[in-house]
């Protein structure tokens, strides 16, 4: 084919116009959320047992992304609910997600292995919707998405570190879902976070194909890593060794800028917790709250602090308030804070070993079977 410089210029101009048109159309139509619902999981690939998260994708076969549709589409919870299924979702932080734990050693994995059934004979199927960030707002965001998957029971595992009102909106997962977060803030009058107008609203350029290239690449990588997840059953990087959680502690009593005995009520995002409970109930699900186990250190300065995260005074105040709030709201409440011995924590004051996870699962299963709802018992 013979070309002239003029023809080449015309070609370049047409190509540039096409690129421009595609980008503008992409920004106007915003197909990313719809694309997120398309997934190779459940069709070609086995679904993931926990939400996608990973800082080293090439070793974890998993990655962090911010498209909740894509995250849920890859998860086991996206499967249609069976008639005989009693669907339980677990919300929480990295402890619930199962940092350093194989999927079968996570709380959900262990509960599912127990093959629990409700009193009316339904299979208790537990879904791990924990996500490794300490923020109740993030849990609320995930719960909002989870409610479309018809849970019968929502179990929310929390710890004080997730409560500071000032830290609710800092993570990209929350920042990148401003519309959903804003809707929750309005619907549930979330005073503790309403005045923190720090959402990232995408500009027009950021909504173009070019601006969304990272989101699109993440979606594609999520599908591709599913192959290695299917092949290996690995969804996080397991280092050969890790730094154990700190046992000898600094003598500081300060927590998030507060000093004893002042821990103002409005410094903790209890309103987000209440919104979650309300959201669950509005969706027809039971709601349960668990104060998750923490490492109670016996090392240096352990008379002042429980662990790296918590001075004793702050944590004790929190526990007291949490129990009080649960009582007031008539939530099912399990305080498992001291359930797990110090030897059963891994690299953090909330990350459990398989044995620690087993202890919590047994406690939770016993507690579930004693609950005055549909009931559950071991087969």
Centroid of chain to Cα 349: 18
213 binds another protein (CB under 8 A): no
- H helices of the chain, in order, are 5-29, 32-37, 57-60, 68-73, 94-97, 107-113, 136-146, 172-175, 178-187, 191-194, 204-207, 213-232, 270-282, 312-329, 354-370
Q: Which stretch binds another protein (CB under 8 A): 111-119, 217-225, 266-274, 365-373?
A: 217-225
Q: Is the peptide bond before 261 cis (omega within 30 degrees of 0)?
A: yes
**Binding status of residue 34 toward another protein by CB under 8 A:** no
Does 234 interact with another protein (rule: CB under 8 A)?
yes
- CB count within 10 Å of CB 379 equals 7
Site membership for another protein, residue 220 (CB under 8 A): yes
Instruction: Report if residue 233 touches another protein, rule: CB under 8 A.
Output: yes
Q: Residue from 228, 267, 323, 336 that binds another protein (CB under 8 A)?
A: 228
Is residue 155 within 8 A of residue 118, CB to CB? The reply is no
One symbol per residue from 45 to 84: x for binding another protein (CB under 8 A), - otherwise; what is it?
------------xxx-x-----------------------
CA distance linking residue 301 with residue 107, whole number of Å: 31
Told to check if 7 binds another protein by CB under 8 A, we report: yes
DSSP state of 255: B
Q: From residue 187, give the alpha-carbon distance in Å to each of 154, 182, 195, 279, 328.
A: 19, 9, 15, 10, 21
Does residue 216 interact with another protein by CB under 8 A? no
Q: Which of 231, 239, 244, 355 binds another protein (CB under 8 A)?
A: 231
Q: Counting contacts by CB under 8 A, is residue 40 touching another protein?
A: no
Binding residue (CB under 8 A) for another protein from 43, 80, 121, 232? 232
Cβ closer to another protein: 82 or 231?
231
Cα–Cα distance list, 357 to 171, 294, 312, 351 (Å)? 26, 12, 24, 9
Question: Nearer to another protein by C-beta: 23 or 95?
Answer: 23
Instruction: Return the number of the residue (102 or 256) whose C-beta is nearest another protein.
Output: 102
| Cα R_g (the chain), whole angstroms | 23
**CA–CA distance, 129 with 119 (Å, rounded to integer):** 25
Pick from 227, 254, 298, 338 the residue near another protein by CB under 8 A: 227
Closer to another protein by CB, 61 or 127: give it. 61
Q: Is 8 in the site for another protein (CB under 8 A)?
A: yes
Least CB distance from residue 232 to another protein, whole Å?
4
Tell me whether residue 104 or residue 274 sits nearer to another protein (CB atom).
Answer: 104
Sign of dihedral through CA atoms 171, 174, 280, 330? Answer: positive
Closest alpha carbon to 60 in 103, 106, 110, 90: 103
Q: Which of 127, 225, 315, 331 binds another protein (CB under 8 A)?
A: 225
Task: Tell me which of 79, 224, 304, 371 binds another protein, using CB under 8 A.
Answer: 224
Torsion, Cα 316 318 319 321, to 10 degrees, reads 120
Handedness of CA 161, 163, 169, 174 (dihedral sign): positive
CB of 222: closest distance to another protein in angstroms?
A: 10
Binding residues for another protein, total number by CB under 8 A: 23
Residues of this chain that bind another protein (CB under 8 A): 1-5, 7-8, 11, 57-59, 61, 220-221, 224-225, 227-228, 230-234
């Amino acid at each position: 084919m013979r070309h002239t410089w003029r023809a080449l210029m015309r070609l370049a101009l047409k190509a540039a116009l096409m690129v421009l048109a595609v980008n503008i159309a992409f920004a106007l139509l915003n197909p990313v959320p719809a694309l997120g619902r398309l997934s190779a999981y459940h069709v070609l690939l086995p679904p993931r047992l926990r939400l996608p998260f990973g800082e080293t994708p090439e070793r974890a076969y998993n990655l962090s992304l911010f498209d909740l549709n894509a995250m849920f589409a890859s998860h086991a919870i996206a499967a249609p609910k069976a008639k005989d299924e009693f669907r339980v979702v677990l919300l929480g932080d990295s402890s619930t997600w199962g940092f350093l734990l194989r999927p079968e050693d996570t709380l959900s994995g262990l509960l599912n292995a127990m093959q629990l059934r409700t009193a009316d004979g339904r299979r208790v199927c537990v879904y791990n919707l924990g996500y490794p960030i300490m923020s109740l707002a993030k849990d609320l965001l995930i719960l909002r998405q989870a409610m479309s998957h018809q849970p019968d029971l929502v179990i929310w595992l929390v710890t004080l570190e997730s409560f500071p009102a000032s830290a609710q909106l800092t993570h990209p997962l929350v920042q990148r879902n401003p519309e959903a977060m804003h809707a929750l803030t309005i619907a549930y009058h979330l005073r503790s976070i309403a005045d923190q107008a720090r959402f990232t609203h995408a500009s027009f350029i950021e909504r173009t194909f070019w601006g969304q290239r990272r989101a699109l690449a993440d979606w594609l990588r999520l599908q591709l890593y599913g192959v290695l997840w299917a092949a290996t059953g690995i969804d996080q990087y397991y280092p050969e060794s890790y730094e154990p959680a700190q046992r000898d502690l600094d003598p500081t009593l300060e927590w998030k800028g507060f000093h004893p005995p002042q821990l103002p009520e409005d410094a903790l995002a209890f309103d987000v917790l209440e919104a979650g409970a309300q959201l669950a109930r509005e969706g027809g699900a039971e709601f349960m709250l668990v104060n998750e186990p923490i490492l109670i250190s016996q090392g240096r300065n352990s008379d002042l602090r429980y662990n790296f995260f918590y001075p004793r005074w702050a944590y004790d105040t929190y526990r007291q308030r949490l129990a009080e709030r649960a009582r007031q709201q008539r939530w099912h409440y399990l305080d498992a804070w001291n359930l797990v011995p110090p030897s059963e924590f891994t690299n953090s004051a909330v990350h459990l070993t398989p044995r620690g996870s087993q202890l919590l699962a047994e406690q939770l299963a016993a507690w579930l079977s004693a609950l005055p709802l549909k009931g559950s018992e071991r087969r």
